[in-house]
Structure 1
Amino acid sequence: MKYLAAAAALAWAGPALSQTAPLSADVPSAARMSPELLAATEREAGPVLVALEKLGGGKGARDTAGGLRLLREEAGKNNELATILLGAIYGDGAYGVPRDSAENIRWYRRLFDGARPGSPWRGGAAAALGTYYMRGEGVARDDAEAARLLKIAAEAGDKEGMTWYGIVLASGRGVPLDHAAAVRWLTPPAEGGDRAAMTMLGFLYERGDGVPRDPARALQLHRAAADKGSNLSATRAALLLLTGTDQDPKLAFHYAGIAAAGGESDAMAIFGVMHLNGIGTPVNHEEAVRWLRPAAEKGDAAAMLELVYAFARSQGKAVPQAEAYVWLQKSADLGNPQAMFLLAGSIERGFVPGTRDDAIGWYRKAAAKGDTKAVDALKRLGVAP
């Protein structure tokens, strides 16, 4: 089929381009195109292949300027394939071309605004532009405009558009919150292996938003997304494997480790706690501290408190006493009721500086957050909560 020439042009460009929104892996099917559109696409592919050969040095020395010039000439003739490739090249800085967000957006906008009826590329351009407006990248952030463009992309069958439109529906950014609609849009790309779609759909199944709550399905989706590099899904998979009905501490340790190594602060805390308590791995206080400390430094109040426990369990070997009390104070200041209770007790026993009134004050703060041990301590001291 002649349409394969257009696919060949994309295949040539693909290794140098990472912007998947306009250059979807699913090249629009010739079966869904009119004969006129099919013929136009075939005509466009030939000169684009020549331009890509110049850019990539496929038949001799690389000619970046010549390749770009040919693509611009073709874009000036309303060659849609050339237009969207120009956008992607400037967006990625491919073929040695400096990245230029203004040029990137200009070419996508030109394609979106001037595409032929039934254009196979307009949906991809809409998806790319929608994500730019969503992030405020190269344009002022505009959630409503992002949602409008992403809806157009999704309705055109663009998988990237379906994913991001589903995400904005699930979060209510620029559109009314609609979990059921989010599930409908996210399901096709998730089933096709889209990582972001699997992660968002996993959250919806976890919470039972738009679908009946299904932890097993949520775990399946998060594991699939984690295996494709999602640190967020790896963290969720670890938690589900630790707390769900089908618990597997060793597998949880595997996913927590992946996400922790990827810099996910929640995963660092989980991974540290697993080392500290021997969950899915032998107890290792030093390794626990190695992961808990960076999570605490990122402001995780629970990780701060775990460092205090690491001090106690290692008898000061893994965490010095002075550092432990600094973390205890910080965790209490951030509103952690367990830290408040422990700080009050430490003051009362003279382990850290403070008065009886200071201890009572922290007991009261912990009690106000529902800590029953703090309530008992106040009764013992003969004061009201």
Structure 2
Amino acid sequence: MRKLLSGLLDGMTPAGRFRHACRLLEDEGHSARGFARLGQMAGAGMVAAQYQVARAYLEGSGVPRSPLEGVRWMHRAASAGHVEACFSLALMLLVDPPGQGGADGLLPAMWPDGITAWPDPVAAAGWAGQAARAGLPDAQALYGYLLATGPDSVRNPQEAAAWCARAAQAGCPQGDLALAVTHLSAPDQPPGSDPDAVAALLRAAESGLPTAQYMLGLLNERGWGMARNTAGAEEWYARAAAGGVRPAQARYGVMLLRNGADSPRAIMAAETWLRRAALAGDREAAALLGDLHARGEAALPGDHEAVTWYRMAAEHGHAVACRMLALLYVQGRGVAADPAQARHWLARAAALGDAAAMTDLAATLLPEVSPGTAPPDGVCIDFRPMAQAGDPVAAFNLAVSLHRGMGCAPDHAQAAVWMERAAGAGVVNAQYWYGRMLLAGEGMVASPSQARYWLERAASHGLPEACIAAAQIRLEGHGGPRDHAGALALYHRAAAAGRAEAMFSLGAMYGGGHDVAPDRAQALHWFTQGAQAGNAPAQFMLGRYLARGLAGPVDMAQARYWFAQAAGQGVAAARAALAGMAVADGHNA
């Protein structure tokens, strides 16, 4: 009898009809009928029904999804004082409008009256405050958070702490998180210095809030308010990463790459988490993925993958990724070699403050600049203010600009002054340039001994160009004694860095005529390496070795091929060798 009376009352009272319509909406087979009944009640002014209609439109439950209608009904319910609607509208106003970018995206003209902008944290604070004062703990946590971190017009640290505490006392994990954030973001105290804030963060993390888990990972990793605990940080990052927190995914990926005694590197797992973070827009994760592929450390390394990830990070303003992408364009790794693209990305990196990119930019731009003209691609950086302020990299770039006359008349004397400053400050490229200028007497009296000193300093850092120049000086005995063994070692360093002219020089040294034991097998090897790298003299010498069988069997077909390659690059002796072979072929015929 009681069940029968309850059913009759449900059908007779507005509250009963509302409950019945909500049950129908939740039933997939009857959701459209439930929405239709709720719509009638909402239109008649029932505020609770208006809130449910708003949710249905936003979720596409019982009716085709319509963010515009959802916002209109949510705003109507909130304006009537519905607590959950106020809270929901506050949350919505903190992110982009529902449906933005799609066919049903909201336009300003369609926003309900009273909403003038979107996102609007100020308006969000107003709606959250209304719901908070009505006693909703989640709204109290949100309101406290906005009072602590929102725009200046709503910020109130004292009120923020009070509202966060009320939410936390009500058992709301978001209240604990907001309470922790208000303390941790305070400018007048170091992170983690408030034990109550750390305790609140721990409660929020243990309750399952991913953001709190990420923040607790940071405290553990950096030793804020607690002893540094790498294992604990990794555990909290893992939990937050699984909860979808992008920075946690990136940090967890980084920690998986660390190679500790108790935690060997987990490359594939690290890549998985870094990839998730990168695809969600984390530029550091994208740059790190580029590094893994460029260095061949990824599970399945590939230069094309390195280009993809570096480009993603670079487009998000990552300076080092811009420089690394430029380097791949220079080397033609994973992408066709393209000097213009290399300059473009170096310019981006330099504009973002990357000192190494500024050095590389000068080195790539200036060789193409005629004295007194502007650089290509419209790139023009004024290095003088930074140089005068003591920046050694800027001093180097200013020196190169003055030497080459980038946008001005060349001034070798001033170039020498700035180049010496940069070289003395340890800029390796400047040491190489200053050595060359001393050798040629550009802007100063020539000094072979000083040139040798600076070139060898640059070579000691592995700069390939400096290794080649220093090797040549040692071979010829400029500025000091001849040292063919030392020159050989320097050529090896440059060849290992991929310099084809060094490969040719190694072949020449091993071929004889130097204070190095002749080794024609080694000579053939290095001439082959240089030839394949496109060095014309190496191609000619390889053709000669193959034609004469100087280090193995005669191979006239291959000799003819390499002579032709060298001749195509303008080597007259190669053209003569080809002509001689043609004459010999005619006599043999």
TM-score normalised according to structure 2 size = 0.48
Q: Which residue of 1 aligns with 2:402?
A: 311
The residue that corresponds to 1:256 in the other structure is: 346
**What is the one-letter code of the residue matched to 2:469?**
K
What secondary structure sits across from 1:234 in the alignment? helix
Q: Distance in 2 between matches of 1:87 and 1:319?
A: 60
Give a deviation string over 1:253-289, Cα, whole Å, max 9, x none. 443333322212123233334442449x962699656
2:322 is the alignment partner of 1:234: yes
Q: Which moved more, 1:200-209 or 1:249-258?
A: 249-258
| Aligned counterparts of 1:358 and 1:63: Cα–Cα separation in 2 | 65
Q: Determine the C-alpha separation between the residues in 1 that align with 2:227 and 2:445.
A: 51
One-letter identity of the residue aligned with 2:202: D
SS of 1:213's partner is coil
Mapping 1:168-183, distance limit 5 Å: 168-172=255-259, 176-183=264-271
* Larger RCO (CA under 8 A, 6+ residues apart): 1
- Structure 1 portions without partners, runs of 5+: 16-41
Q: Partners of 2:347 and 2:174 in 1: how far apart? A: 42
Counterpart of 1:371 in 2: which secondary structure? helix
Give the Å deviation of 1:163. Answer: 0.9
Alignment of 1:34-73 (within 5 A): 44-49=137-142, 51=144, 65-73=158-166
| Equivalences for residues 115-126 of structure 1 within 5 A | 115=204, 119-121=207-209, 123-126=210-213
Q: What amino acid maps onto 2:431 in structure 1?
A: A
Identity %: 21
Pairs within 5 Å for 1:15-164: 44-49=137-142, 51=144, 65-92=158-185, 100-102=189-191, 106=195, 109-115=198-204, 119-121=207-209, 123-135=210-222, 143-164=230-251
CA distance in 2 between counterparts of 1:248 and 1:344 reads 27
The structural deviation recorded for 1:187 is 1.6
Kept in 2: contact 1:272–1:287 (CA 8 A): no
Q: Distance in 2 between matches of 1:275 and 1:4?
A: 59
**Letter of the structure 2 residue corresponding to residue 378 of structure 1:** R
8 Å contact 2:223–2:229 — kept in the other structure? Answer: yes
Contact preservation (8 Å) 1:329, 1:339: no
Q: For 1:87, what is the secondary structure of its paired residue?
A: helix
Among 276, 282, 285, the alignment partner of 2:366 is: 276
Partner AA of 1:166 in structure 2: G
Cα distance in structure 2, aligned partners of 1:137 and 1:322: 50
User: How far, CA to CA, are the matches of 2:457 and 2:144 in structure 1?
Assistant: 69
Shift of 1:166: 0.7
Once superposed, what is the RMSD of the aligned Cα atoms? 4.7
1:208 shift after superposition: 2.4
Report the Cα distance in structure 2 between the residues aligned to 1:341 and 1:257, rounded to whole angstroms: 21
Contact 2:205/2:216 (8 A) holds in 1:
no
Deviates more, 1:164-173 or 1:194-203: 164-173
Task: Measure the CA separation in 2 of the matches of 1:179 and 1:372.
Answer: 37
* Structure 2 CA distance for partners of 1:231 and 1:47, relative to 1, 3 Å: same
Listed as ranges, the gaps of 5+ residues in structure 2 are 1-51, 56-83, 97-134, 484-589
Task: Give the number of aligned pairs.
Answer: 349
Q: Deviation at 1:379?
A: 3.7
Structure 2 partner of 1:203: 291
User: Structure 2 CA distance, aligned partners of 1:72 and 1:338?
Assistant: 59
Please give the alpha-carbon distance, in whole angstroms, between the structure 2 residues aligned to 1:54 and 1:322: 57
Partners of 1:365 and 1:62 in 2: CA distance = 57
Q: Does the 8 A contact of 1:269 with 1:291 survive in 2?
A: no
SS at match of 1:113: helix
* Alpha-carbon distance, 1:80 to partner: 0.8
**Are the structure 2 counterparts of residues 304 and 252 from structure 1 closer, same or farther at C-alpha, using a change threshold of 3 Å?**
same
User: Are the counterparts in 2 of residues 241 and 249 from structure 1 also a CA contact under 8 Å?
Assistant: yes
Is residue 2:455 matched to residue 1:384?
no
Aligned pairs for 1:209-358 (under 5 A) are: 209-244=297-332, 245-278=335-368, 283=375, 290-291=382-383, 294=386, 298-300=391-393, 307-314=398-405, 317=409, 321-328=413-420, 330-331=422-423, 334=426, 336=428, 339-340=431-432, 342-343=434-435, 346=438, 352=444, 358=450
Distance 1:351 1:177 in 2: 53
Tell whether the 8 Å contact from 1:268 to 1:291 is kept in structure 2 after alignment.
no
SS of residue in 2 equivalent to 1:384: coil
State the partner residue of 1:32: none
1:373 aligns to 2:452 (yes or no): no
Provide Cα deviations, 1:170-202, integer angstroms capped at 9, x if missing partner.
354895443333102212222222222222222
**CA separation in 2, counterparts of 1:324 and 1:335?**
14
Which amino acid is the alignment partner of residue 172 of structure 2? N
- The structure that has the greater radius of gyration is 2
Match of 1:167 among 241, 254, 261: 254
- Displacement of 1:232 after TM fit? 2.7
Write the distance in 2 (CA, Å) between the matches of 1:152 and 1:142. Answer: 16
Does 358-367 or 245-254 show the bigger shift? Answer: 358-367
Query: One-letter code of the match for 1:81?
Result: Q
Q: Give a deviation string over 1:291-335, Cα, whole Å, max 9, x none.
A: 5984895554xx766554433322984656245244246437738
Give the equivalent residue in structure 1 for 2:524.
Answer: none
Q: Residues of 1 paired with 2:425 and 2:444: CA distance? A: 15
Q: Which of 182, 187, 192 is matched with 2:275 structurally?
A: 187
Q: CA deviation at 1:13?
A: 6.4
Q: Contact 1:223/1:233 (CA < 8 Å) preserved in 2?
A: yes
- Displacement, 1:135? 4.8
> Measured at CA, do residues 89 and 271 of structure 1 come closer, stay the same or move farther in structure 2, by a change above 3 Å?
farther
Moved more, 371-380 or 306-315: 306-315
